[in-house]
Amino acid sequence: MNREPFRDLRKHINDMTSYEIQVIRNAIVVAKNNSRIRVPNHLKDRLRQKYITMDDVANTIERGHIIEAHIIDYSFRVLLRLHKEGTNKDVCVVVELVDNVIVTTFTNQSADTHKTLREELYDKDLDVVELFSECKRNKRNKR
């Protein structure tokens, strides 16, 4: 299937099927186990700015909760979130799962329940598995 790049598609964890969650989790495990998750240079500056360590990032990738899938122009991104022990903060990491690169990281207050979440940005009916497959196919076709 050849179509225009996806524009800002999102699906929240609360709307994902258990199969969609498992596919995402498996992709993270495969990338991590193959040491394929890359850390771009700009991320090192971001870590210093936000007082986040690489251990925090690794722990969030390993044990973090999936919050959302976000697809932009065949870039399949997943937001992960994990409480940072001894603080009132959660570490959030965005991992791009087609190229296996960490996009960004930031902290959020642990008590933040996202009352201001813009639900209109999310599509409950997105097929995350199909979109992930299409993003990977698009990358292979560009080689």
pLDDT digits (tens, 9 = 90+) for 107-136: 998 887 776 678 888 899 999 999 999 999
- Taking the C-alpha atoms of residue 16 and residue 88, their distance in angstroms, rounded to an integer, is 27
The answer to whether 96 and 75 are in contact (CB under 8 A) is yes
Q: What is the pLDDT of residue 4?
A: 60
d(CA 7, CA 18): 25
Confirm whether pTM is higher than 0.85.
yes
Please give the pLDDT value at position 134: 93
How far apart are alpha carbons 125 and 31 in whole angstroms? Answer: 27
H helix intervals, the chain? 18-33, 41-50, 54-63, 128-142
More confident residue, 6 or 97: 97
Q: What is the pLDDT of residues 52-95, one digit of tens each?
A: 999 999 999 999 999 999 999 889 999 999 999 999 999 999 99
